[in-house]
Amino acid sequence: MTPTTADDTSFARLAELTQRLEATTKRLEKRALLAAFLRSLRRDEVAPAVHLIVGRIFAESDARALNVGWATLKKALGGTKQASLVARSLSILGVSQTFAQIAEARGPDSTRARRRLLESLLGRASSGERDVLLKNVFGEMRIGVNEGVMLEGIADASGVDLDTVRTAHMFLGDLGMIAEIALFEGADGLHVRGLRLLAPMKPMLAEMAEDLDEVLAVHGGMTAIEYKLDGARIQIHRKGDAVKIFSRRLSDVTSSLPELVAIAKGLPASEFLLEGEVVAVDRDGKPLPFQDLMRRFRRVHGIESAQEEIPLKLYLFDVLHLDGRTLIDEPYRVRWEILERLVPPNLLTARRVAQHKEEIEAFLKEALVAGHEGLMAKQLESTYSVGKRGKKWFKIKPADHLDLAITAAEWGSGRREGWLSNYWLAVRDDKSGAFQMIGKTFKGLTDEEFKAMTERLRGLATSEERWGFHVRPETVVEVAYNEIQRSPHYPSGFALRFARIVRIRDDKGPQDVDTYERLKDLYAKQFERKGRGPDDL
Ligand code: AMP
C-alpha cells in the first residue's frame, strides 16, 4: 500500500462527511456539504473521493469489479484484529488504491490476496470508516448522495453552471473525472470534452408510447418508424485504424466483437461514431434468445469458436460523428441520410416514414413476424439528446395482458359522474391468498358497461369510503398494459404502466386471477431484456 503522506486527506474526513450527509434530508444542505468537501481536496484526490462518496469505487464506465463475495468478506472481518495492531490512518488515495488492487488481483491465489488487502483496510478503519468501506464493497452507499446531488455539489464547488456539468457527465460517464475537471479547469475544460471519439457517451433513450395516436400527435403528424430489435445497444467509434465498441452502460466490449470491428474498418470513412443494435442470430439469420447474445458479450477467450457458434448481426440506426463533424445537433432526418450514404443497406435497421396509424400498425406486425420486439418511432426533426429519455423517441411494443381482480372502485367525475368507474386492480398472492394492488384504471369500458359495473360492484361492497367502495374481489377483468414498473406507491412494489380493461371476464372467478408470482416473473423477464446483460458489463 502506498504510504500516507502528511498532506493526504484522511479517509476519516470522508467518513465524517458521509455521516453528515446521512443526517440531513435537505438537498441544499447536502449540496453545500459536498461542495465544501470537494473544494478542500487536492486534484489527485477528487476523483477517488467522488467515487467513494457515491459508493461505486470506480467510474461508471470502468468495467473493474471487486469480486469480493460474502465468504471473503466474513473471513476478512474475522481477521482484522491482528491487523489493527499496526494502526495507521487511512487516506482517501490509499483506500482507492487498495480497492484497485483488490479488483486487479488475478491468479490462483487471488482470493487470498483480496482477503488480505481487505483485512488491511478494515483493520485500520474506525467504525465510521468501516461503514463507508463496507457500503462501497456492496455498492450500496445509501446516504442520499445520488448522481444528481453529486452533480449539484460539483457545480457549487467549482462555480461551473449545473447544465454544463450535467452535459459533460452525459459525454464522459465519469463523475470523478467531471469533478476534477470542473474544479481545476473550470467550464472551459468541460466544454472541450464534448463528444470524443474512442470514449463512450451516454445514449439517448426512449419513452414508452401510450398508443399510436400519442406518437403521431407528439411527433407532429409524421414519424419515422424503425424495427425495435431485441439485442444489445452498442456505439462503434472509429478514428483511423483504431476502433472501439461500447455497450449501453459504456463498457468497452471491443475485444468480444471482432466481426463488428472488421465491419467498422471496412466502411469508407476514417472517423465516425455509429449507433446500432447487435443481435445474435442462428444460421438462417433468425434472432436467437437474448441469453445467447450475452454469452457473446461476456466471452473473452475462444472468441473465434464463439463467432461460429453464435453469429452476430449488426443493425445500425444512427450516426453521431463523421469525418471531423459532430452530428448530435443535426436533425435525425439528416443523420439518417448521412448514415444511408455511409453504410451498405444490409447494415441499416428497417425503417419507414409514417403519417397514419394503419401504416404503423402494419409495420409493427411485420416487425413482430420477423421476430423483433416492436418499433421505435423517432421524430424527424429531433436532435440527439445525449443520455436523456424523452418523447422524441417512443418505443412501441404490443401490449401484454393479465387477468386481474377489482378490489375497490372510485366514483368518476365529468362524463363518468355517478358511476363507479375507476377500478383498483390486483393480482392474487398464491401463498397468502391476499390480493395485491398493482394499479388503477378507468379506461376501456363503454358507458353501458360502466353502468352495469356500478350496480354489480355496489352489490359486492365490503365498506364504503368517501371516494367509493372496497369490494369483494370477485370481478375479474382482462387488462392490457405496456410495461411493469417498480412502484413505491403500492405495497406489492409494482405498478402497471398504461393499464386499460380489454374485457370483463365473466367466465373467471377470483381463483383464476393471475398471481403475484407470475407478475414478478414477468417483471424479471422484462428487466433482463432492458436493464441487464450488456448494461451490467
Ligand atoms: P428499452 O430498453 O425498452 O428502454 O428500449 C430502448 C432500447 O431499444 C435501446 O437502448 C436499444 O438498445 C434498443 N433498440 C432496438 N432497436 C432500436 C432502434 N431502432 N433505435 C433505437 N434503439 C433501439
CATH assignment at residue 174: 1.10.3260.10
474 found inside a domain = yes
Q: Which helix (H) or strand (E) holds 280?
A: strand 271-280
Cα–Cα–Cα angle for 401, 365, 360, rounded to 5 degrees: 100
Instruction: Kindly state whether residue 272 falls inside one of the protein's structural domains.
Output: yes
At 294, phi and psi to the nearest 5?
A: -60, -35
Same domain membership, residue 390 and residue 271: yes
The Å distance, Cα 185 to ligand 1 centre, comes to: 36
Report whether residue 233 contacts ligand 1, using a CB cutoff of 6 Å: yes
Residues 390 and 407 both lie in one domain: no
Is the CB of residue 372 below 6 angstroms from any atom belonging to ligand 1?
A: no
Amino acid at 537: L
Residues 373 and 405 in one domain: no
Is residue 473 within 8 A of residue 407, CB to CB? The reply is yes
Q: Using a 6 Å cutoff on CB, does residue 229 contact ligand 1?
A: yes
- Please tell me if the CB atom of residue 228 comes closer than 6 angstroms to any atom of ligand 1: yes
Q: What are 478's strand-pairing partners?
A: 403, 503
Residue 237 included in any domain = yes
Catalytic residue (choose from 30, 202, 228, 378): 228
Q: Can you tell me whether residue 72 is helix, strand or coil?
A: helix
| Residue 4 domain-assigned (yes or no) | no
d(CA 353, CA 351): 7
From 229, 391, 527, mutation site for ligand 1 pocket: most ligand atoms within 8 A of C-beta: 229
Distance from Cα 253 to the centre of ligand 1, integer Å: 18
Q: Are 380 and 451 members of one domain?
A: no
Report the candidate in 158, 168, 233, 163 with the shortest Cα–Cα distance to residue 196: 168
Nearest atom, ligand 1, residue 233 CA: 12
Q: Give the C-alpha distances (Å, rounded to integers) separating 388 from 166, 205, 392.
A: 11, 6, 10
In a domain, 327, yes or no: yes
- Annotated active-site residue 228? The verdict is yes
Residue 314 CA to ligand 1 centre (angstroms): 13
Closest CA to 134 of 47, 74, 63, 81: 74
Nearest ligand 1 atom to the CA of 530 is 2
Rounded Cα distance, 78 and 90, in Å:
20
Residue 165 makes CB contacts below 8 A (sequence gap 6+) with 151, 154, 155, 158, 178, 182, 190
Domain presence at residue 30? yes
Dihedral of the alpha carbons of 96, 100, 102, 104, in degrees to the nearest 10 = 180
d(CA 168, CA 178): 7
* Count of structural domains within the chain: 3
Instruction: State the closest ligand 1 atom to the C-alpha of 248, by its place in the atom list counted from 1.
Output: 10
Both 262 and 185 in one domain: the answer is no
Cβ atoms within 10 Å, residue 28: 11
517 assigned to some structural domain:
yes
Helix (H, G, I), strand (E, B) or coil at 210: coil
Instruction: Compute the distance from residue 233 Cα to the ligand 1 centre, in Å.
Output: 7
For position 359, which CATH number holds? 3.30.470.30
Pocket of ligand 1, candidates 225, 234, 277: which has the most ligand atoms within 8 Å of its Cβ, to mutate?
A: 277
Q: CA-to-CA distance for 512 and 508, rounded, in angstroms?
A: 6
Instruction: Name the residue among 165, 177, 163 with its Cα closest to residue 51.
Output: 177
Where does residue 295 rank: exposed (0-12), middle (13-18), buried (19+ CB within 10 A)?
middle
The minimum-distance atom of ligand 1 relative to the CA of 230 is: 15
Verify that 437 and 390 share a domain, yes or no: no
Which protein residue's CA is at the shortest distance from atom 1 of ligand 1? 530
User: Does one domain contain both 413 and 298?
Assistant: no
Q: What is the CATH number of the domain that holds 521?
A: 2.40.50.140
Any ligand 1 atom below 6 A from CB of 226: yes
Kindly give the confidence (pLDDT) of every residue in the chain, 537 residues in length, as a single tens digit, with 9 standing for 90 and above: 445 566 899 999 999 999 999 899 899 999 999 999 999 999 999 999 999 998 888 887 777 778 787 778 888 887 665 444 455 789 999 999 999 999 998 888 888 999 999 999 998 999 889 988 988 887 655 555 788 899 999 999 999 999 889 888 888 878 999 999 999 999 998 877 678 899 888 899 999 999 999 999 999 999 999 999 988 999 999 999 999 999 988 888 999 999 999 999 999 999 999 999 999 998 887 888 888 888 888 777 888 888 888 899 999 999 999 999 999 989 999 999 999 999 999 999 999 999 999 999 999 999 999 889 899 999 999 999 888 889 999 999 998 999 999 999 999 999 899 999 999 999 999 889 899 999 999 999 999 999 999 999 999 999 999 999 999 999 999 999 999 998 888 999 999 999 999 999 999 999 999 999 999 989 988 776 654 433 333
- Amino acid, single-letter form, for residue 264: A
Residues 378 and 480 in one domain: no
d(CA 438, CA 492): 7
- The domain boundary residue, chosen from 369, 395, 421: 395
For ligand 1, pick from 230, 233, 247 the residue to mutate: most ligand atoms within 8 Å of CB: 233
Question: 253 and 185: one domain?
Answer: no
For residues 380 and 267, state if they share a domain: yes
Choosing from 530, 532, 535, 537 the residue with most ligand 1 atoms within 8 A of its CB, the one to mutate for a pocket test is 530
Claim to verify: residue 331 and residue 360 sit in the same structural domain: yes
Give the number of the atom of ligand 1 that is nearest the alpha carbon of residue 227: 19
Are 468 and 497 found together in one domain? yes
2 in a structural domain: no
Q: Which of 137, 165, 191 is the last residue of a domain?
A: 191
Q: Could you say which of 352, 379, 395 is where a domain stops?
A: 395
Other beta carbons within 10 Å of 305: 10
Its domain, for residue 353, covers: 206-395
